Amino acid sequence: MIAELLLNGIALGCVYSLIALGFVLIFKATGIVNFAQGDIMMLGSFFGLTTIGLWGMPYLLGFVCAVLATAVCGYLFNRLLLQHVVGRPEFQIIMVTIGLGYILRTIAGVVPGWGSLPQRFATPFDGKVDVVFGMPVSQERLVIVLVTAGLMVLLFLFFRFTRVGIAMQAASQNKTAATLVGISVPGVNSLVWALGAGMAGVAGILIAPITFVYPGVGYVGLLAFPAAVLGGFGSLPGAFVGGIVIGLLEVFSGFYLSEWVRNAAPYMALLAVLFIRPSGLFGVRLQKKV
Amino acid sequence: MVAQNTAPASRRSGQMLLLAVVAVLAAAGLPFLINSFFVGVVTSVLIWTIIGLGMVVLLGYSGQVSIGHSAFLAIGAYGHALLIGAGVPFFLSVPIVVAACLAVGALIALPSLRFSGVYLAMATLAFAFIVEAVIGDLDITGGRGGMPVPREKLFGYSLTQTNVLFYATLVLLVGTFLIARNLVRSRTGRAWASLRDSEVAAASMGVGIARYKTYAFAFSAATTALAGTLLAHKVGYLSPDGFTIQQSIEMLILVVIGGMGSLAGAFYGAAFLIILPILLSIVKDKVPSGMGELPGLEAGIFGAALIIFILFQPKGIDGAIRAVLARLKNGTGAGRDDHAGA
């Protein structure tokens, strides 16, 4: 029983981690607190529904196409909208992302084949069960964990060894210095948005069999906030661990305590972290610039 | 804010007062002129104006962001409904609920003593989620199913009557406005403006940052709770779905679109927030079927309005009106409107 809860919690946590990672990536690079991250995840779910469900692409191909489409959307959001509010007060930028989320939800309700009713698309793992270490394990959950783990490794390699990855780090650490060595900071920021949106897209496709696909599914994305705060708000490994912790917290409190605790637990954890250790588990303290 | 000193302060405030008195008298006459549906709409606008006043003080004057004020709206509405259900009269229940939220608001503002900006927004978001989860689970609030608001009388008139609730709201709004206006013009208001513009500068001038941030937060919590008590009578039935993050965000939309440079912005924003969906539903009825079916169109239009305002009119409706007024006053116009805004 505990093992099953553990796997469920980790699988759910992996999805939160992916959303939170994209969120923290964007925050670190551009300073934007992106309230539309959950709605971008929702967009990923719908792209998956389109490629795999409506167009009948093979799962893997459909998956990749949907993630790419989400990434392109992220790129465009920055290019067409958010780039133009950089330097405005923080609150105004937050409100722009909230507005963007509202618009995305409306669009999802209008596009033919999408709509406001919950839908689902078939995956190769539906109802299949593997036996791992003598325990029955739902393939769906296992895939979520494996894909997330794989992505983490890729992400690490990307930031460590590729030119673009290193440029992203440079641009987020010091804009002026990055510009001086020939990095186009706005261009790199758009790529960060593409990356962050792509990760939310992966989360959206992975979570679709569990939550189904509908315009309001993006509310799940709000759980990226407790995950990110738990991890220290500016730390990528922190966001990953924070997401897993939130997933476990939700599943275990829902099972052993009650429904309302399940809903409130991630936010109680958030408040507890803010009061006790605002720098989060990984100790990255943001300094306010004067 | 207080920057525009083209006329002597006393004369300007005299004009303002006259204008406000005329507006209130005109509003008081409304129920004799329009039918009860529209009186209901105006009541909603006034209730949201009360919320807006708190939000303008919190965001526009003290520069703090809260994404959790739906919690205070919920505490106000549920607290009031439970109290009058227990036999406490309206006149006692409202002050109790408002005072309670003043205290809770001060308590919640504690995190703002330690951190700012995004962290405060996160803390308030968390608070709202927890309150929503608790209300959805308690027995006395009817859980997720909700509870009816008990009938209550004011001077022998039932608050279920549209006009009675309208006058009650109008009186409370005027009271809230006067308090807010005095606050922002006092030492407190100047302290808020100074810490909004630069906390470091404010602190070095001897402004107690923590204290004044707490004042602003507690004040906005109290006004939101007051609006909650009125909202309870307006809707007649409370359920947790009416007090979610969605409502918190609507409050933020209100101040962005209304403008947070002056208290008047609260009214413009509230009018926009309440009237736009009503206009939309009228338009939907007129349009041939199919077009009107679009689900969630309202949210999309709010989102688009939000983005358009921030990109092109960040001072909101209030800023636009003041720019026009300044231009009319100066005749030649050019260059003066910049001084009018925040």
The CA dihedral of B330, B332, B335, B339, to the nearest 10 degrees, is: 10
Between B119 and A148, residue with greater pLDDT:
A148
pLDDT at A114 > cutoff 90: no
pLDDT at B138 > cutoff 80: yes
pLDDT of residue B284: 75
Give this prediction's pTM.
0.88
Q: If you count residue pairs, one on A and one on B, with CB atoms under 8 Å apart, how many are there?
A: 126
Check if A259 contacts B (Cβ < 8 Å).
yes
Check if A107 contacts B (Cβ < 8 Å).
yes
Between A176 and A74, residue with greater pLDDT:
A74
Residue of A nearest to B60 (CA): A91
CA distance A49 to chain B (A): 19
Q: What is the mean pLDDT of residues A158-184?
A: 87
pLDDT band at A61 (very low <50, low <70, confident <90, very high): very high
pLDDT band at B342 (very low <50, low <70, confident <90, very high): very low
Range with the poorest average pLDDT among A49-58, B19-28, B160-169 = B19-28
**Whole-angstrom distance, CA of residue B226 vs CA of residue B73:** 8
Q: Which residues of A touch B132 (CB under 8 A)?
A: 263
Between B245 and B26, residue with greater pLDDT:
B245
Q: What is the ipTM of this complex?
A: 0.87
Task: Please report, rounded to a whole number, the percentage of residues in chain B having pLDDT higher than 70.
Answer: 87
CA distance A70 to chain B (A): 19
Q: Which residues make beta-bridge pairs with A119?
A: A213
Q: Which residues of B touch A88 (CB under 8 A)?
A: 310, 314
Mean pLDDT of chain B: 83
pLDDT at B338 > cutoff 50: no
Please identify which residue in the block is written with the tokens 């990536």: A25
**Whole-angstrom distance, CA of residue A113 vs CA of residue A53:** 10
Taking only the tens place, the pLDDT of each residue in B29-74 is 777 777 888 888 999 999 999 999 999 999 989 888 899 999 999 9
Range with the poorest average pLDDT among A223-232, A270-279, B11-20, B276-285 = B11-20
pLDDT of residue B117: 72
Between B297 and A68, residue with greater pLDDT:
A68
pLDDT at B82 > cutoff 90: yes
Residues 146-175 of A with CB under 8 A from B: none
Check if B108 contacts A (Cβ < 8 Å).
no
3-state secondary structure B126-172: HHHHHHHHHHCCCCCCCHHHCEECCCCEECCEECCCHHHHHHHHHHH
Per the CB < 8 Å rule, is B311 touching A100?
no
